[in-house]
Structure 1
Amino acid sequence: MTGLFFGSFNPIHWGHLIVADIIRREYRLDKICFIPSLVSPFKSLTNTPTHRTNQKLLAQFQIKITLLELALAHWDKFKLLTIEKSLPVPSYTYHTLRVLRKNHRRYNKAGLIIGEDNLNYFNQWKASAWILNHYPIYIYKRQLNHLEQATSNSSKPGGDTITTSTPEIQTMIKKLQKTHPNAKLNFSAHMPLLPFSSTVIRSRLAAQKSIDHLVPQSVNNYIAHHNLYR
């Protein structure tokens, strides 16, 4: 069984890697495939994409790919799939899964890795019922920064956080299970709360603050060398 880890990964950080490793071990998955999105449906473009816009998106996507390649280099159970680079935007998980099922049948036996913050609006996902009928879901607990702020007034990563309790998450799972009785929803209750956020990292970089210990050293070096997210 393969775990499919969709996300913006903008940029990849230690939280993504730790979550993937814990879920792979807990559910005895063979490997984890990281699938970066070109344009999230929930962060879609406000205007019709132009050639110039598309070129900018592809350039930004290439940066994410490079950082992912650096981060995953020493994880033999992790793999990078750049399939959404060639698919229409926005990047619907449903569309990507259908393409994978058609062209890469080895991924038919796979499960999706999602944060618990997705549970409340999972029914808004395109073809959510189809996804739940075809794929088990592995859910991990997230610690969200209030308004995803890195705290511009603090040199420490973190700040005020919003944490969903385990009973609350289980209630959300039961609610989703009620409307989708065939869904296989697995909650990783032993997942530690990880104080990592791509939004926080970008904010800290924009404020010229350190992101040491938030990302692998190779990723940190590349970002610094190319002056990214400034």
Structure 2
Amino acid sequence: MKKTGLFFGTFNPIHIGHLVIANHIVEFTALDEVWFVVTPKSPFKQKKSLLENHHRYQMVYEAVKDYPKLGVSDIEFGLSEPNYTVDTLAILQDKYGGERAFSLIMGEDNLKSFHKWKNYEAILEYYPIYVYPRISENPIPERLQGHPGIQFVKAPVMEISATFIRREHKAGKNIRPLLPEAVWKYMDEMNFYR
């Protein structure tokens, strides 16, 4: 049974911070692989800066194709809105349950609001959660402190944001070192975020 960590995000664009964290988690925990689950563009939230699903998927694909333990999933693209992580997990479980055991990967900032997620108790009961450090304000809710299903990973603290990359790229700054080379090429050729 393969242990697969799921790293959800818009990845708009995927950057070296995402790669460093995913690679660290797959190399230094019990996980065998990490899938980047690209979350779809919501028809309810028309965010102008959010690239179309297939472009963000392609950039993640370009970023991970040379890393055998990293993969990309578009499982959420076909699901109805609004979509919740607990539903995605159920679909993945139906599809791959016999061959894979899934876990969630999230930043410490997301863990602080995790108790507001739909059916968070069920997620905690059936899916281990790997948490990587993020610099953020609020404390972790008491009910989640010391929970046996939550493992903190001493991954490097990566304070790079996709928002920063988009903004500074548009301003004409050289943000190329913050992106995997293949992602930079794709982004540049497609003239994204200008």
TM over 0.5: yes
In structure 1, give the amino acid aligned to 2:44.
L
- Where does residue 6 of structure 1 map in the other structure? 8
In structure 2, give the amino acid aligned to 1:27.
T
Instruction: Tell me the secondary structure at the aligned position of residue 38 of structure 1.
Output: coil
Distance 1:107 1:5 in 2: 19
CA deviation after TM superposition for structure 1 residue 229, in Å:
1.3
Cα distance per residue 1:94-133 (max 9 Å; x no partner)? 1110111112214651210000011221111111111111
- Where does residue 210 of structure 1 map in the other structure? 174
Instruction: Tell me the secondary structure at the aligned position of residue 122 of structure 2.
Output: helix
Cα 1:197–1:59, aligned 2, differ >3 Å: closer, same or farther? closer
Whether the 8 Å CA contact 1:34–1:80 is kept in 2: the answer is yes
CA deviation after TM superposition for structure 1 residue 74, in Å:
0.6
Q: TM-score, normalised by structure 1?
A: 0.75
- Where does residue 103 of structure 1 map in the other structure? 95
Cα 1:76–1:26, aligned 2, differ >3 Å: closer, same or farther? same
Pair 1:72-2:71 in alignment: no
Cα distance per residue 1:46-103 (max 9 Å; x no partner)? 58xxxxx9xx9x9710110110111011101111111111001233111110111112
Whether the 8 Å CA contact 1:116–1:139 is kept in 2: the answer is yes
1:80-99 superposed matches below 5 A: 80-99=72-91
In structure 1, give the amino acid aligned to 2:144.
L
Whether the 8 Å CA contact 1:100–1:108 is kept in 2: the answer is no
Which one has the bigger helix percentage?
A: 1
Cα distance per residue 1:178-215 (max 9 Å; x no partner)? 7xx5x511011x22221311111111122122112111
- Where does residue 17 of structure 2 map in the other structure? 15
Distance 1:177 1:132 in 2: 12
1:1-230 superposed matches below 5 A: 1-39=3-41, 45-46=44-45, 60-106=52-98, 109-142=101-134, 163-164=135-136, 172=140, 174-177=142-145, 183-188=148-153, 190-230=154-194
Q: Quick check: which has more Rg, 1 or 2?
A: 1
Cα distance per residue 1:125-147 (max 9 Å; x no partner)? 111111111100000012xxxxx
Q: TM-score, normalised by structure 2?
A: 0.88
Percent identity between matched residues is 36
Distance 1:214 1:124 in 2: 32
Cα 1:46–1:24, aligned 2, differ >3 Å: closer, same or farther? closer
Distance 1:191 1:107 in 2: 27
Instruction: Tell me the secondary structure at the aligned position of residue 140 of structure 2.
Output: helix
In structure 2, give the amino acid aligned to 1:118.
N
Distance 1:204 1:197 in 2: 11
Report how many aligned residue pairs link the two structures: 192
Instruction: Tell me the secondary structure at the aligned position of residue 9 of structure 1.
Output: coil
